[in-house]
């Protein structure tokens, strides 16, 4: 579209609607006027204003129970969940380590273990990626698939040595942190939880909750890859075993499961779910290291499988066939993502110790999983100036966006996929300067949740669309209660808004913040007003001729 044609469309719209452009009911009110122009090609009168922007500490704590680990909802209405494991350290944000705690339940009440004298053979924990059925490039690198096929002549099938063909497919998971070399592998531990996970107690819903552990159930080395396995008989190609994509870890403490599960057959501990979750309170999955990488997994697809043999008598003959018990780790169990931080001597530690709420901060730090957020506030003087332009020049605001640049000197994790996605909320601040989370609310600017994600990779900036907000403030629009719209701060946090299969947002509280591994440093204010990449409010308006 040529410059003159764009201006013709803009003036035509203004001639028809005049100042009522501010009230136009578009499906996406934030983009009103912006559809006439593409990105930076907007024509008209553009003016830039300073923005107050400063860091906000979330005290390295976030609500991280099952209600906050939701990544979306399928067409059938089933929720998808995401958890994080691992640890990573760098000098900007310090150390971040993620563990996971979950309850587990027996498959049925009063489980009878099929017969007498049950004895444990082995116990396996399977950790699966969030996309479990196909190779999603978001959670693992599908273009790095490796397939190995080999044969085994003495594979046991129903107690008989059988010739089989084994196909193993391997994918590296999507990592955030150090990759390769000494950082490739990390030790994963599974412990018994000794604290009752009371899902009705709000203190058990936060990422910094202290959870006690007991016996070590087993450990394994995760090499950064997940696998799928298919085993077929050579004789007739029938499938003997299929293992879906995941990391399988054999737990060494089989005696724990023998004494705590099998030996409790017929006893009150296994009578029902209520008794069981107070007896066997759960498991904790964690890592030893502090400086490897973070990766995501699917909590509801976790499997804890106990293989055991039991006495089976047929026609006077007793055999000991093997079977398995699959514990229920999903459903209504309590789940908590646990996150630890060490900020000593990091840039974030220094920044959060010197927050300037009145003038703003020069560097802005944003991190998921309870890390810092950023508060952005449009100055009241800016609104007053725009009101003057609106009245005196009969101006219609075509576009308003807060432009914030990625800090050019900030750390970049070049070996990881950095999404740099953010959720944006409008909040009120209490008199003591803290966010009043009871007043979280959408504005029309967030009706689609897409305006913020205009990340210009060439110029390294974000445009946060606030067109409707500015129009309402300039026009003295009233809310549904008859009160004038107030100039509230914007809270910028890592993550996106969760949505259902049709793209409809699940609600203001449903974001991916609780498991978003991303972090970024943005350029904030510049007291000298000489840095061209300082944060600014860019307003484009047209006047009626």
Predicted pLDDT of residue 494: 86
Pick the closest to residue 516 from 190, 76, 207 (CA basis): 207
Q: Residue 337 has what pLDDT?
A: 97
Res 348: pLDDT? 96
Dihedral through CA 335, CA 337, CA 338, CA 341, nearest 10?
A: -170
Sign of the dihedral defined by the CA atoms of residues 130, 136, 139, 141, in that order:
positive
Nearest by Cα to 539 from 320, 383, 342, 364: 383
Other CB atoms within a 10 A radius of the CB of residue 538 amount to 18
> What pLDDT sits at residue 458?
67
The pLDDT value recorded for residue 290 is 95
Q: What is the pLDDT of residue 372?
A: 96
Residue 23, pLDDT score: 27
pTM score, whole prediction: 0.83
Sequential pLDDT tens for the chain (545 residues) = 444 434 433 333 333 233 222 222 232 334 433 433 334 444 578 999 999 999 999 999 999 999 899 888 877 888 889 999 999 999 999 999 999 999 999 999 999 898 889 999 999 999 998 853 333 334 555 557 788 888 888 888 877 888 888 888 888 888 888 887 888 899 999 999 999 999 888 889 999 999 999 999 999 999 998 888 889 988 888 888 887 888 999 999 999 999 999 999 999 999 999 999 999 999 999 999 999 999 999 998 899 999 999 998 888 888 888 899 999 998 789 999 999 999 999 999 999 999 999 999 999 999 999 999 999 999 999 999 999 999 988 888 898 989 999 887 776 666 676 677 777 765 555 555 554 444 444 443 333 333 344 456 667 888 888 888 888 889 888 877 888 888 888 888 888 878 777 777 777 677 889 999 988 899 999 989 899 999 999 999 988 66
Please give the pLDDT value at position 93. Answer: 95
Nearest CA to 261 out of 118, 84, 92 is that of 118
Q: With contact defined as beta carbons under 8 Å apart, do 310 and 115 qualify? A: yes
3-state secondary structure of 285: strand
According to the model, what pLDDT value does residue 432 have? 52
């Amino acid at each position: 579209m040529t410059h003159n044609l764009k201006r013709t469309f803009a003036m035509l719209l203004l001639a028809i609607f005049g100042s009522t452009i501010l009230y136009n009911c578009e499906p996406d009110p934030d983009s009103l006027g912006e559809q006439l122009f593409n990105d930076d090609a907007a024509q008209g009168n553009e003016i830039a204003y300073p923005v107050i922007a400063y860091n906000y500490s979330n005290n390295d704590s976030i609500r991280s129970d099952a209600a906050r680990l939701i990544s979306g909802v399928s067409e059938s209405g089933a929720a998808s969940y995401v958890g994080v494991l691992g640890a990573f350290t760098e000098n900007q944000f310090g150390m971040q380590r993620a563990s996971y705690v979950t309850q587990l339940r027996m498959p049925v009440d009063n489980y009878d273990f099929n017969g007498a004298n049950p004895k444990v053979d082995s116990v396996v924990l399977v950790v699966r990626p969030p996309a479990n059925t196909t190779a999603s490039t978001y959670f693992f690198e599908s273009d790095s698939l490796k397939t190995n096929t080999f044969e085994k002549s003495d594979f046991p099938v129903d107690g008989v040595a059988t010739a089989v063909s084994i196909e193993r497919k391997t994918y590296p998971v999507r990592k955030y942190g150090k990759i390769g070399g000494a950082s490739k592998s990390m030790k994963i531990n599974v412990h018994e939880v000794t604290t009752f996970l009371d899902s009705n107690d709000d203190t058990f819903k936060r990422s910094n909750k202290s959870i006690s552990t007991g016996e070590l159930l087993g450990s394994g080395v995760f090499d950064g890859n997940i696998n799928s396995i298919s085993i077929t008989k050579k004789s007739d190609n029938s499938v003997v075993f299929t293992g879906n994509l995941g990391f399988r870890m054999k737990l060494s403490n089989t005696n724990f499961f023998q004494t705590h599960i099998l030996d409790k057959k017929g006893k009150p501990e296994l009578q029902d779910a209520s008794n069981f979750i107070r007896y066997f309170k759960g498991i904790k999955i964690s890592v030893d290291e502090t400086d490897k990488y973070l990766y995501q997994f699917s909590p509801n697809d976790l499997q804890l499988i106990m293989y055991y043999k039991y006495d089976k008598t047929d026609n006077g003959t007793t055999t000991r066939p093997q079977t398995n018990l699959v514990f229920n780790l999903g459903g209504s169990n309590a789940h908590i993502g646990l996150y630890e931080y060490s900020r000593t001597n990091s840039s974030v530690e220094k920044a959060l110790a010197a927050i300037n709420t009145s003038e703003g901060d020069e560097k802005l730090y944003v991190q998921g999983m309870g890390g810092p957020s950023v508060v952005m506030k449009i100055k009241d003087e800016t609104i007053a100036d725009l009101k003057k332009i609106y009245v005196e020049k009969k101006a219609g605001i075509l576009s308003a966006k807060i432009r914030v640049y990625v800090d050019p000197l900030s750390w970049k994790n070049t070996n990881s996929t950095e999404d740099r996605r953010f959720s944006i909320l409008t909040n009120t601040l209490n008199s003591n300067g803290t966010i009043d989370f009871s007043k979280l609310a959408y504005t029309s600017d967030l009706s689609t949740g897409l305006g913020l994600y205009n990340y210009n990779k060439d110029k390294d900036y974000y445009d946060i669309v606030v067109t409707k907000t500015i129009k309402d403030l300039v026009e003295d629009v009233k809310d549904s209660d008859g009160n004038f719209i107030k100039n509230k701060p914007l809270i910028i946090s890592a993550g996106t808004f969760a949505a259902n299969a049709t793209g409809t947002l699940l609600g203001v509280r449903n974001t991916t913040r609780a498991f978003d591994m991303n972090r970024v440093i943005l350029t904030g204010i510049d007291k000298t007003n000489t840095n061209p990449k300082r944060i600014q409010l860019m307003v484009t308006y047209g006047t009626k001729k």
